Amino acid sequence: MTIDKAKTALKLACHTWGFSNLPLEEAVQIIARLGFNYIDLGSGPHLDTDAAARNPRREAQAVLALLDHFHLQPTDLYLLLPALASADEGRRLYEVKLFERLIPFALELGVPGITLSPGIETPEIKEVRMPRQEAVALRPFAQRIPDEVEDEEEPAAEAAPSQPPPPTPFDYAVESFQRIVEIAEDIDLRISFEPHLDSVAATPDKALAMLEAVPGLSLTLDWAQFVAQGIVSREIEPLLLHTAHVQLRQATRGRLQTPYHEGTVDLRQVMSLLFDHEYRGVISIEYMNRSGWHGMAALDVIRETSLTRDEIRNCRNDFLSEE
């Protein structure tokens, strides 16, 4: 395998969500001390999206001053907009409008891309909607009229008017993303979504369907989200053609976050696939300061981030040294 080293260095970033229990300044300082030059930011405790929408320049300059002080560059801005798949049109439009109002903040921040959730799946919409089937009544064999007796013509039954199936949250998410991509059409800003558990696009098939339905949309790929579902690499691999940003942490089936030595994410295999598909984006290490959700383990984020960082660096260096 021949690798263009200049084009395939694969930058490493760290997500601030691993330190959401700390003020942003402390989180940034820890990430810098861990040896990172790049950082992913997200809405939540570290970002007041309403304030950023009202005063984009002021809020962005405050964040940039902090990042500059610790020699860090932002590589992704994750905006939590869970109502993009809501059946409530008002809620959907509010979040689309909030996204539009946050574009000046993202541009002022100089971030290359924005990641969004495709919206949350709710129990009532997980039902499989099958097309309505009309029962066909067969005349019992014993009651059939002999062949020599001519059947009387029966009036044809009127066909029931076909009703279109009701829109699903996936449909609503498609509509929201189409509006978002249109808003960002003339802006040099990557727009991605993350297929994650409990979302309307939690599986590779659903993620590919979303990408097909919304041209111009790309993918932020969090490997752990699929591993926790028991989805294997060969099923994830087709997503790499559409991947613009990558998030990694250790996980295993049924557990969305585990200590490094208990996880089953084969980082060397993941790195090999990224190189084979000429991925040239950022790899963000994203452990999270939370537990319980889909079996996420509470852990020492600094320790686990360091172990994952070292393994990714070793794999990257090994692949880059190959001729």
Question: Which one is predicted more confidently, 130 or 100?
Answer: 100
Q: Give the residue-averaged pLDDT of 86-91.
A: 95
DSSP string, 135-171: --PPPPGGGPPPTTSPPPPPPPPPPPPP-PPPPPHHH
Instruction: Provide, rounded to the nearest whole percent, the portion of the chain with pLDDT above 70.
Output: 85
| Range of the structural domain that residue 34 is part of | 11-124+168-321
**pLDDT at position 319:** 87
**pLDDT at position 126:** 40
In the chain, which ranges are continuous DSSP H helix?
Answer: 24-33, 49-54, 56-69, 89-109, 169-183, 204-213, 223-227, 233-236, 267-276, 301-321
Q: Is residue 296 part of a domain?
A: yes
Give the angle 10-11-17 at the CA atoms, nearest 5°.
130
Q: Give the CATH number, domain containing residue 245.
A: 3.20.20.150
**pLDDT at position 156:** 58
Query: Is the pLDDT confidence value at 6 over 70?
Result: no
| Digit-coded pLDDT (tens) for 292-316 | 999 999 999 999 999 999 999 999 9
Check residue 120 and report its DSSP letter. B
Q: How many domains does the chain have?
A: 1
Q: Is residue 111 part of a domain?
A: yes
| Digit-coded pLDDT (tens) for 274-287 | 999 999 899 999 99
Q: Is residue 136 part of a domain?
A: no
Q: Is residue 79 part of a domain?
A: yes
**pLDDT at position 322:** 75
Among 37-46, 106-115, 135-144, 168-177, name the one with the lowest average pLDDT: 135-144
Q: Could you tell me the pTM of the whole model?
A: 0.84
Q: Is residue 173 part of a domain?
A: yes
| Digit-coded pLDDT (tens) for 238-294 | 999 999 999 999 999 999 999 999 999 999 999 999 999 999 899 999 999 988 999
Q: Is residue 133 part of a domain?
A: no
Q: Is residue 142 part of a domain?
A: no
Cβ atoms of 256 and 224 closer than 8 Å: yes
Query: Is the pLDDT confidence value at 129 over 70?
Result: no
Q: Is residue 137 part of a domain?
A: no
